[in-house]
């Protein structure tokens, strides 16, 4: 058992209002530069819809992620190593900028310089790439609130897998928002596809980064990532991705998307996992993936785990942070959070609590009462839509798992309602979802009223580690393989001075 | 004049080549990249880039065979002059055509899609495109003009010996006096390519990711384990 820590996130989809604050603040912080105008490390999609880049979930087309071959071995969908190197002169599976969108700015100058006249001055859209007038025909949130869903929603790869009738019902019934960042996977396909070995996972917190000095612009990572969350900066020719705001995390602060989330639906915390169990979890059948992924995580309360973690130089504050982790609580204790597309087999580390609201909508549509648990349970279990869709998204098609979570969420609401009304606790209902009243109340506190300090449990990096963390970002600290330095906490001192992380602008 | 072109210039160019690379590696690993533009234009690149690169690799192999392998060696191995000549000319034309067509397509691509590609086309790229075009052009004059259409010119008795003599620091530059114009220009510009190499995108050539075939799939940075031995 080799114990590692992972910074992970959970998002509660019921609470996302699709305001894009997270996307905008992230962009202002990280991608407000030449070359990444089109890149959104955080983006928010309306589902059903094809998303950003177009139809990113269509792996037959984009060849992202992993799959088991006929002999049960794990292979990148885009092929083996040799196959990848033969595609190095022109990657056949790379999305082009038009699959994202043509970034635009506006001709604001006209607003100021147009002489007095009868007409209102108009700021026309200009392509941010060419500087020439352009017409806007697509964008990263083009499908907001199902806009244009009539033509695009049926192209949603998740929809395509549903039965025809289901599609029709589904289209008129509901929508929800899906905020997405890099998943900081335990088995990242971007990394495995990188010919240069420039992408790495930080041992201490699992954040996946691109070494800008090692990247040679072979652009295989973009194809490798099934979530299309790694981007080519066309000004530098190098790959860039979401950094989980590592400089903030090291300072004990939440990510920018988390800090600014209007719906307060994001949770950030540590998860301890067993490195030696990761590989096995990628090799099971589709319907066993969720359980296998859960098994990789280690119980931070187990004395055995604590002892092993201490022996492996995990600082006590980190173990304590793992115990208080809301991610552990939501994904493992209450089991209401689910991984996005586990069938890509990258072991994503941003999990989602499926939205109950689509089910409530349908409950009302079929004449049920969306506050009565029985009606909701009935809707959850008898109306295949939207359950099938959520299952495609979060459990590799296993509807029972999603139904279980939704029923638990419905039971939580009903239970809190009875408490507010001083009505009698419905033990029958609690038994059906297999949760005690205390558990549901605990879940309610976490989902409904958790304060910032409960939602974001981030142990700051030790100051003595800061220089070394910096050295990791650029250049390899592995030259010092000696391990624990004197007085350290299991991480050695930097071999050389700090290396600045540079963000260049085009001259 | 010949002394400058075939003694001083090669040494200057090689010195720039070596020192330039050291400088570039120490100061700009960030810019050490193929500077891909595939994101901005995919279709033309999909055809032109493989043509160009495969052609260029064959051309490099051809130059190694033609310049570095002495004529005496191939003869000793029993390769007749006629056989060598046919292979060299046939292979040379094929490689040259692949590379030349690829290069032309790449240049047309830069022009046709200039609106977008202007963003990623630096002055260095333009110098490189022009220089490569001229060099490839004279390469065709040599191979096709002299050896297919013309009476043939045995560069292995002059150019090749001169080229090798540079590296043993005993330059026999007088040999180049008798070489046809195309060979003289091709050789001089060839060294110019070496001189701009470290300052251009050509540096990506040295980063051919052969190591990828052997490295573990998952890379951790930290101390408890170096590169993890997972994946194959
Ligand atoms: S989600 Fe992030 S870590 Fe996972 S494969 Fe994509 S870029 Fe890599
Ligand atoms: S800021 Fe929060 S609520 Fe707004 S779109 Fe982003 S995730 Fe949703």
pLDDT tens, residue by residue, B215-230: 999 999 885 543 344 4
Whether A473 contacts A501, CB under 8 Å: yes
Buried b (16+ CB within 10 A) or exposed e, A113-130: eeeeeeeeeeeeebbbbb
Beta-sheet strands, E only, within chain B: 220-221
Closest-CA distance of chain B to residue A81, Å? 6
Residue of B nearest to A194 (CA): B212
What HEC string does A349-413 produce?
Answer: CEEEECCCHHHHHHHHHCCCCCCCHHHHHHHHHHCHHHHHHHHHHHCCCCHHHHHHHHHHHHHHH
Ligand nearest to the CA of A259: 2
Is B219 in contact with A191 (Cβ distance < 8 A)?
yes
- Asked if the model's pLDDT at residue A127 lies above 80, the reply is yes
Q: According to the model, what pLDDT value does residue A466 have?
A: 59
Q: Is B226 on the interface with A (CB under 8 A)?
A: yes
- Asked if the model's pLDDT at residue A68 lies above 60, the reply is yes
In-domain check, residue A411: yes
Q: According to the model, what pLDDT value does residue A501 have?
A: 45
Q: According to the model, what pLDDT value does residue A340 have?
A: 97
Is A237 in contact with B34 (Cβ distance < 8 A)?
yes
| CB nearest A478 (choices: B30, B212, B221) | B221
Residue of A nearest to B210 (CA): A195
DSSP conformational letter for B118 = G
Which tops the pLDDT comparison, B52 or A34?
B52
CA distances from A236 to A92, A142, A406, B202 (A): 21, 27, 45, 15
pTM of the model as a whole:
0.89
Distance of alpha carbon B60 from alpha carbon B67, whole angstroms:
10
In-domain check, residue A215: no
| Coil vs helix vs strand at A334 | coil
Average pLDDT of chain A is 88
Per-residue confidence band for A480, with pLDDT thresholds at 50, 70 and 90: very low
pLDDT, mean of residues B71-100: 91
Q: What phi, psi does B7 have (nearest 5°)?
A: -125, -60
Per-residue confidence band for A379, with pLDDT thresholds at 50, 70 and 90: confident
CA neighbor of B97 nearest in space, from B153, B137, B131, B124: B137
In-domain check, residue A429: yes
Distance of alpha carbon A158 from alpha carbon A395, whole angstroms:
12
Whether B191 contacts B185, CB under 8 Å: no
Q: Is B40 on the interface with A (CB under 8 A)?
A: yes
> How many domains would you assign to chain B?
1
A-B CB pairs within 8 A amount to 160
- CB under 8 A, 24+ apart: contacts of A437-443: A439/A334, A440/A408, A440/A411, A440/A412, A440/A415, A440/A416, A441/A415, A441/A416, A442/A329, A442/A334, A443/A334, A443/A336, A443/A408, A443/A412
In this predicted model, what pLDDT tens digit does every residue of A78-123 receive, in sequence order? 999 999 999 999 999 999 999 999 999 999 988 888 888 888 889 9
- The half-sphere exposure of B12 on its side-chain side, counting CA atoms within 13 A, is 11
Is A192 in contact with B228 (Cβ distance < 8 A)?
no
Report CA dihedral (B186, B189, B194, B197) to the nearest 10 degrees: -120
Buried b (16+ CB within 10 A) or exposed e, B172-204: bbebbeebbebbbbbbbbbbbbbbbbbbbbbbb
Closest atom, ligand 1, to C-alpha of A188 = 5
- Asked if the model's pLDDT at residue A481 lies above 60, the reply is no
Would you say the CB of residue A258 lies under 6 angstroms from ligand 2?
no
> How many domains would you assign to chain A?
1
Note the maximum CA span of chain A: 79
Domain that holds residue A338: 263-455
Closest atom, ligand 2, to C-alpha of A179 = 7
| CB nearest A85 (choices: B212, B221, B223) | B212
CATH number of the domain residue A431 falls in: 3.30.70
Distance of alpha carbon B19 from alpha carbon A151, whole angstroms:
59
Q: Is B34 on the interface with A (CB under 8 A)?
A: yes
Per-residue confidence band for A158, with pLDDT thresholds at 50, 70 and 90: confident
CA neighbor of A224 nearest in space, from A35, A78, A375: A78
Distance of alpha carbon A24 from alpha carbon A37, whole angstroms:
12
Q: According to the model, what pLDDT value does residue A478 have?
A: 40
Q: According to the model, what pLDDT value does residue A164 have?
A: 57
Residues in chain A closer than 8 A to B40 (CB atoms): 96-97, 129, 234
In this predicted model, what pLDDT tens digit does every residue of A179-195 receive, in sequence order? 999 999 999 999 999 99
Whether A186 contacts A296, CB under 8 Å: yes
Distance of alpha carbon B51 from alpha carbon A325, whole angstroms:
54
| Coil vs helix vs strand at B190 | helix
In chain B, pLDDT over 70 holds for what percent of residues?
96
Q: Is B217 on the interface with A (CB under 8 A)?
A: yes
Burial classification of residue A397, based on how many CB atoms lie within 10 Å of its CB (0-12 exposed, 13-18 middle, 19 or more buried)? middle
Domain that holds residue B19: 2-231
Distance of alpha carbon A384 from alpha carbon A402, whole angstroms:
11
Q: According to the model, what pLDDT value does residue A504 have?
A: 44
Q: According to the model, what pLDDT value does residue A165 have?
A: 54
Distance of alpha carbon A430 from alpha carbon A424, whole angstroms:
12
- Closest residue CA from atom 4 of ligand 2: A19
Q: According to the model, what pLDDT value does residue A376 have?
A: 84
- Give how far the C-alpha of residue A504 lies from the chain's centroid of Cα atoms, to the nearest Å: 27
In this predicted model, what pLDDT tens digit does every residue of A433-462 receive, in sequence order? 999 999 999 999 999 999 999 999 999 876
Whether B33 contacts A215, CB under 8 Å: yes
Q: According to the model, what pLDDT value does residue A492 have?
A: 33
Distance of alpha carbon B60 from alpha carbon A134, whole angstroms:
44
Whether A321 contacts A309, CB under 8 Å: no
Helix (H) or strand (E) holding B84: helix B81-112
In-domain check, residue A398: yes
CA neighbor of A335 nearest in space, from A201, A433, A467: A433
pLDDT, mean of residues A353-372: 84
In this predicted model, what pLDDT tens digit does every residue of A280-292 receive, in sequence order? 999 999 999 999 9
Q: Of chain B residues 167-206, which have a CB less than 8 A from chain A?
A: 204
A265-269, A298-302, A370-374, A420-424, range with the lowest pLDDT: A370-374
- Closest residue CA from atom 6 of ligand 1: A225
CATH number of the domain residue B30 falls in: 1.20.950.20
Whether B34 contacts A217, CB under 8 Å: yes
Average pLDDT of chain B is 91
| CB nearest B221 (choices: A202, A219, A275) | A202
In this predicted model, what pLDDT tens digit does every residue of A408-428 receive, in sequence order? 999 999 999 999 998 888 899
Whether A183 contacts A229, CB under 8 Å: yes
| CB nearest A129 (choices: B31, B116, B211) | B116
Is A216 in contact with B33 (Cβ distance < 8 A)?
yes
- Asked if the model's pLDDT at residue B96 lies above 70, the reply is yes
What HEC string does A419-485 produce?
Answer: HHCCCCCCHHHHHHHCCCHHHHHHHHHHHHHCCHHHHECCCCCCHHHHHHHHHHHCCCHHHCCCCCC
In-domain check, residue A302: yes
pLDDT, mean of residues B182-188: 96
Strands B220-221 and A199-202, bridge-based pairing: parallel
Whether A211 contacts A474, CB under 8 Å: yes
Closest atom, ligand 2, to C-alpha of A177 = 8
Ligand nearest to the CA of A141: 2
- A449-A454-A456 Cα angle (round to 5): 125
pLDDT, mean of residues A254-269: 97
Residues with CB under 6 A from ligand 1: A 182-185, 188-190, 208, 225, 227, 229-230, 241, 346
Whether A337 contacts A327, CB under 8 Å: yes
């Amino acid at each position: 058992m080799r114990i590692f820590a992972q910074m992970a996130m959970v998002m509660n989809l019921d609470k996302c209002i699709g305001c894009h604050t997270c996307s905008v603040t992230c962009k202002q912080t990280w991608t407000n530069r030449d070359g990444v105008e089109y890149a959104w490390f955080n983006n928010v999609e309306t589902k059903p819809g094809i998303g950003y880049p177009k139809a990113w979930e269509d792996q037959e087309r984009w060849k992202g992620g992993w799959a088991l071959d006929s002999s049960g071995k794990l292979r990148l969908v885009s092929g083996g190593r040799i196959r990848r190197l033969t595609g190095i002169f022109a990657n056949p599976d790379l999305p082009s900028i038009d699959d994202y969108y043509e970034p635009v700015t506006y001709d604001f100058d006209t607003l100021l310089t147009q002489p007095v006249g009868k007409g209102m001055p108009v700021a026309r859209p200009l392509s941010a790439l060419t500087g020439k007038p352009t017409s806007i025909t697509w964008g990263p949130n083009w499908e907001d609130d199902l806009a244009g869903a009539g033509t695009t929603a049926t192209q949603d790869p998740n929809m395509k897998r549903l039965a025809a009738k289901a599609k029709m019902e589904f289209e008129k019934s509901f929508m929800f928002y899906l905020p997405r960042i890099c998943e900081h996977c335990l088995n990242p396909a971007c990394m495995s596809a990188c010919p240069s070995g420039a992408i790495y996972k930080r041992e201490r917190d699992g954040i996946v980064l691109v070494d800008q000095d090692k990247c040679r612009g072979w652009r295989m990572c973009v194809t490798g990532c099934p979530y299309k969350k790694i981007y080519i900066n066309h000004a530098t020719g190098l790959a860039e991705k979401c950094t989980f705001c590592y400089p903030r995390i090291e300072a004990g602060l939440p990510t920018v998307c988390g800090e600014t989330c209007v719906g307060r639906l994001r949770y950030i915390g540590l998860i301890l996992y067993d490195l030696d169990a990761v590989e096995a979890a990628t090799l099971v059948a589709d319907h066993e993936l969720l359980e296998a992924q859960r098994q990789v995580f280690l119980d931070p309360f187990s004395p055995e785990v604590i002892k092993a973690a201490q022996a492996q130089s995990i600082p006590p504050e980190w173990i304590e942070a793992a115990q208080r982790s809301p991610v552990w609580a939501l994904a493992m204790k209450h089991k209401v959070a689910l991984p996005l597309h586990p069938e890509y087999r990258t072991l994503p580390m941003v999990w989602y609590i499926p939205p109950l609201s689509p089910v409530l909508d349908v409950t009302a549509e079929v004449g049920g009462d969306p506050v009565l648990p029985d009606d909701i349970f009935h809707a959850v279990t008898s109306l295949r839509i939207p359950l099938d869709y959520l299952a495609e998204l979060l459990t590799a098609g296993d509807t029972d798992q999603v139904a279980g979570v939704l029923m638990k969420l419905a039971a939580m609401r009903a239970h809190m309602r009875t408490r507010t009304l001083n009505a009698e606790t419905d033990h029958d209902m609690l038994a059906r979802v297999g949760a005690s009243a205390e558990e549901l109340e605990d879940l309610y506190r976490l989902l409904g009223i958790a304060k910032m300090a409960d939602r974001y449990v981030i142990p700051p990096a030790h100051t003595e580690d800061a220089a070394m963390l910096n050295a990791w970002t650029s250049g390899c600290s592995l030259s010092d393989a000696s391990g624990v330095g004197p007085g350290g906490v299991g991480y050695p001192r930097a071999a050389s001075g700090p290396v600045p992380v540079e963000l260049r602008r085009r001259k | 004049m010949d002394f400058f072109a075939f003694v001083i210039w090669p040494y200057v160019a090689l010195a720039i080549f070596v020192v330039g690379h050291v400088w570039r590696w120490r100061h700009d690993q960030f810019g050490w990249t193929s500077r891909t533009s595939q994101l901005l234009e995919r279709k033309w690149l999909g055809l032109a880039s493989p043509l160009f690169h495969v052609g260029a690799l064959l051309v490099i192999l051809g130059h190694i065979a033609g310049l570095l392998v002495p004529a005496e060696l191939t003869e000793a191995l029993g390769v007749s002059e006629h056989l060598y000549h046919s292979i060299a000319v046939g292979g040379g034309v094929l490689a040259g055509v692949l590379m030349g067509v690829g290069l032309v397509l790449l240049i047309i691509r830069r022009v046709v899609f200039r609106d977008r590609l202007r963003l990623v086309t630096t002055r260095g790229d333009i110098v490189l495109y022009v220089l490569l075009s001229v060099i490839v052009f004279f390469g065709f004059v040599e191979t096709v003009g002299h050896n297919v259409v013309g009476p043939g010119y045995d560069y292995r008795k002059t150019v090749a010996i001169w080229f090798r003599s540079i590296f043993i620091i005993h330059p026999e530059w007088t040999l180049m006096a008798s070489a046809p114009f195309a060979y003289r220009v091709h050789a001089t510009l060839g060294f110019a390519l070496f001189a701009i190499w470290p300052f251009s995108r050509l540096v990506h050539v040295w980063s051919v990711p052969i190591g990828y075939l052997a490295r573990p799939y998952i890379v951790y940075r930290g101390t408890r384990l170096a590169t993890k031995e997972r994946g194959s």
